[in-house]
Amino acid sequence: MRFEKEINDKEIIIRPYGRIDSSTSEEFEAFLAANLDDEHDIVFDFKETAYISSSGLRIILFYRKAYSKSKITFLNVNDVVYEVFDLSGFTDLFTVMKHDIDKADTRVIFFDIDGTLLSPMTGKIPQSTVEALQRVRENGAKIVIATGRDIVELKKLPLDGIVFDGYLTLNGNICLDENEHMFAGNPIIAEEVDILVNIFKAGKIPFVLIGEKQRYINYVDDVVVQTQLSTHGTVPNIGEYHGEDIYQCLAFVDADMRMKLDDLLDHCQITSWNKTGIDIIAKTGGKAAGMQHFLDKEGFTRSQTMAFGDGENDIDMLRYAGVGVAMGNGTEKLRNSADYVTASVDDDGIMKALQHFGLI
């Protein structure tokens, strides 16, 4: 089980992921003991909490007594947990709010590109999507790109002149404002870069290093060419590393090699965007982390967000968003992680979802 903490002037927000039961209650108690105080109200965001048993309930009752001056609130509670709370009287003791996506106060919407905005069949944005984005922005919502691509690649895509309010590039590891100025970055730590550069120089697999303003590959083969063609991408120039910060790496490998790299790299996380294409970023990065940087900059909260995606590298984004929307053409794993599944990109999926939630 894992936990996240966010703190502001008035509240400590705790986000547990998974089940809180007899096997995880000690972790839960230890996390609360290390992170709660009697100077803040306590908010439990249960969007990713699948279940809570009596072990977890007892811990919450303890902190209700220990911090009697602190208000305790539960947000985004699913039906199963709500039933447990109701049965045990917690709905009388605390403020408990269900996760109701149809009443979301959406102010910022994050969009993946490939397979979400861009059709995998035509490589273009459907006209219905262009119109939907223009209308939702006119209605006051901010629209932000969240992509594994860098800004150079992004500018080569047929985005039909759509105006965006920000760009979370390289899977959220370089965050740019509406004028494409960087306001947040999350490079891979230097010790891990040493290993990545050695992989790059060894030349056993096609490997790309991506800095803030440049990307280069060690060599190009048919796998690289075919993989990039399948995603309407371009082949990086062959180049050498000169010591700059690295924000993302690409590797053109099969599933077996991906597993080997996963085992090898202690401080990185890997996601697939193609059968022979993977992204390698810092473990502290990802689209969700990029989203939080944007929210901090603009003064919005997580509950005011919606996110659209279709692939593995969108899962953390959809889970993090107030409302996570999976495209109908998305992977099964992604669809299972979403709050709502819309139609495919080629079947007006974005427009239909925005209409469903009353945003256009």
Which has the closest alpha carbon to 225: 238, 237, 212, 234? 234
Structural domains in the chain, sorted by start: 2-99 (3.30.750.24), 108-186+286-356 (3.40.50.1000), 190-282 (3.30.1240.10)
Amino acid at 159: L
All residues at 6 or more sequence positions from 345 whose CB lies less than 8 Å from its CB, including other chains = 115, 116, 117, 118, 119, 120, 126, 129, 310, 327, 328, 329
Amino acid at 49: T
Determine the pLDDT at residue 54.
96
Report how far apart the first and last C-alpha atoms of the chain are (Å, whole number). 38
- What does the alpha-carbon distance between residue 147 and residue 134 come to, in Å, rounded to a whole number? 20
Determine the pLDDT at residue 350.
98
Determine the pLDDT at residue 213.
86
Question: Encoding tokens for residue 306?
Answer: 């919606």
Is 199 within 8 Å of 218 (Cβ atoms)? Answer: no
**Is the sign of the CA dihedral 10, 16, 19, 21 positive or negative?**
negative
Supply the pTM of this predicted model: 0.80
All residues at 6 or more sequence positions from 329 whose CB lies less than 8 Å from its CB, including other chains = 115, 120, 310, 344, 345, 346, 349
DSSP secondary structure code for residue 155 in this structure: T
DSSP secondary structure code for residue 104 in this structure: -
Determine the pLDDT at residue 301.
82
Reduced to 3 states (helix: H, G, I; strand: E, B; else coil), residue 122 is coil
Amino acid at 103: K
Could you read off the pLDDT tens digit of each residue along the chain, which spans 360 residues? 889 998 988 999 999 988 999 999 999 999 999 999 989 999 999 988 989 999 999 999 999 999 999 999 999 898 889 999 999 999 999 999 988 788 778 999 999 999 999 998 898 999 999 999 999 999 999 999 999 999 988 988 998 789 999 999 999 999 999 999 999 999 999 999 999 999 999 999 999 999 998 899 999 999 999 999 888 888 999 999 999 999 999 999 999 999 999 999 999 999 998 899 999 999 999 999 999 999 999 998 888 999 999 998 999 999 889 899 999 999 999 998 899 999 999 999 999 999 999 999
Determine the pLDDT at residue 233.
83
Determine the pLDDT at residue 24.
95
Cα 170 → chain centroid:
12
Question: Encoding tokens for residue 198?
Answer: 């050695």
- What does the alpha-carbon distance between residue 99 and residue 97 come to, in Å, rounded to a whole number? 7
- For residue 178, how many other CB atoms are within 10 A of its CB? 12
Is 155 within 8 Å of 164 (Cβ atoms)? Answer: no
Which has the closest alpha carbon to 281: 194, 189, 176, 213? 189
Determine the pLDDT at residue 98.
86
